[in-house]
Chain A
């Protein structure tokens, strides 16, 4: 075994290299990655600097249209909308990342376990439970949880996380099932490795790409969900800034100050667009079949 390793590593490195090159030639990946980088940088910078303090209300400055002093104008309390969008990006990222994390941490092991014990009662149980959870759109889950525990960002995260779980479980199970029938896993079994070790050592690295692509897509869905939940009052509560809440606040003022609605919405669109483009680009690169057919 040890003699093969360096070669395998070299082959892998070549593969990675090629993948990196392919990724950089994929226009949608590059555009998406750039947008996403801007979005993450905005959130990161907001921790140390924003053009204006978003916690200070300056009523005389309310509803100022976009100008060099206030790039995106000000809201009904005279707060700088650009600064609020920067801080709001943090909320979006927090919710989406944690919700994807919940989905991965719960869903992937379940899917792998189901695949390892395929066609057993356990497998059946996991998949049927998945079906039930799947019947609840994330919004309904959020409504139920909020009705009981009150509105809040944590409950929104939990609802989106629960929605993400069966998505990852199904994906992991499906991909793992095809791997279980492959020769190299037979070899691992003959070598005496148990299902747990095989799942962690051999299956997980092989499905990681798929999981990353799915994670990117659910990340963007998480941002959309957070915005929607906060918009209807199920998500971020004042004073936590959130793009969805900014839109909710601007709704009654839209004829008076359209810019209060336009910029937060654009922020959502660009963030989601960036992640989707990046996810599409990655999928194209990781799936050579698609790369050829799009050619």
Chain B
């Protein structure tokens, strides 16, 4: 298990390194000089020169890359050109909105998908199953930001149960914070819950047809006992992968949903960065999100190997 973990960790570091090269390269191919690009057409030459100095743009590409990576390693992302504050602080502050939102949505999606998937699988072919499958088909097709708009229309504007947007900050208390994130989290979670419920259903159906379930039934377990004691555990393996994959979708989706609800998260930060040509902010946010995606994949791989010892050897 430890060897497996170390091997996966090394590949995590390599992927991150490669991703950082990709990000650096894309930013590097900005037509012309990033400093004059950021300052716009009417910039004075000496302002451009000063910004070049400040951004550390002097030196070869390799030098600059190493300096950037070296800074990242000690948590120094550089200084935001528009905010005039260290990017690390900005990102950390915004992460406290985006990350809880993604986790909230992940919890909701799992809580919805599990029972729904189990009901559909155990009553396969019934009216309940057919309606669940139809509803999930619809859930997958709904863009989460449109669902968000509909939720605002219904629960904020018509029934006035929630506010239509904004975030009071965690200082206002856990309840207030969670309440502000509830509609966004539901909008994010529904499409993912639909996918997860379908995976749960088909995985459970496959497992229920396995020999060991027949054996369990033959030794006298009821259907229900066989399901809870044996089938569910084994059916969870593919479900785990999807949950892991979904986290990256939820984080990316959070960026878009934040726009609907005017939440001060990473999404707002990065889109402002784009319009204000603040490239350091953009590259930092993208790197942080890629890091999150890769790290979650790593955790899922480990969880996998822990659940299913066979997988430890296969790679």
Contact = CB atoms under 8 A, between A and B. Distances in A.
A276 B19 contact: no
B255 interface: yes
Interface string B137-157: 110111101100110110001
A148 B31 CA distance: 8
Contact of B146 (A140, A247, A276): A247
A7 to B, nearest CB: 36
A228 interface: yes
A264 to B, nearest CB: 8
Contacts, number: 121
Interface residues of B, number: 50
A16 interface: no
A247 B145 contact: yes
B249 A268 contact: no
Nearest to B273: A147
B287 to A, nearest CB: 9
Interface stretch (A38-46, A66-74, A131-139, A171-179): A131-139
Interface string A258-273: 1001100100111011
B270 interface: yes
B252 A139 contact: yes
Interface in B25-83: 26-27, 29-31
Contacts of A128: 14, 18
Contacts of A220: 141
B149 A143 contact: no
Contacts of B138: 269, 273
A50 interface: no
B121 to A, nearest CB: 12
Contact of A265 (B146, B273, B283, B294): B146
B5 interface: no
Contacts of A139: 252, 255-256
B293 interface: yes
A108 B263 CA distance: 40
Contact of A268 (B15, B143, B153, B289): B143
A254 B152 contact: yes
Interface string A177-201: 0000000000000000000000000
17 contacts: A132-B15, A132-B18, A135-B293, A135-B297, A137-B251, A144-B286, A147-B273, A148-B279, A233-B271, A254-B157, A255-B153, A262-B150, A265-B146, A269-B143, A269-B146, A272-B141, A273-B138
Given A131-B11, A140-B286, A227-B146, 8 more contacts: A128-B18, A136-B286, A140-B289, A140-B290, A146-B274, A147-B27, A224-B143, A265-B150
Interface of A: 128-129, 131-132, 135-137, 139-140, 143-149, 151, 220, 224, 227-228, 231-234, 247, 250-251, 254-255, 258, 261-262, 265, 268-270, 272-273, 276-277, 293
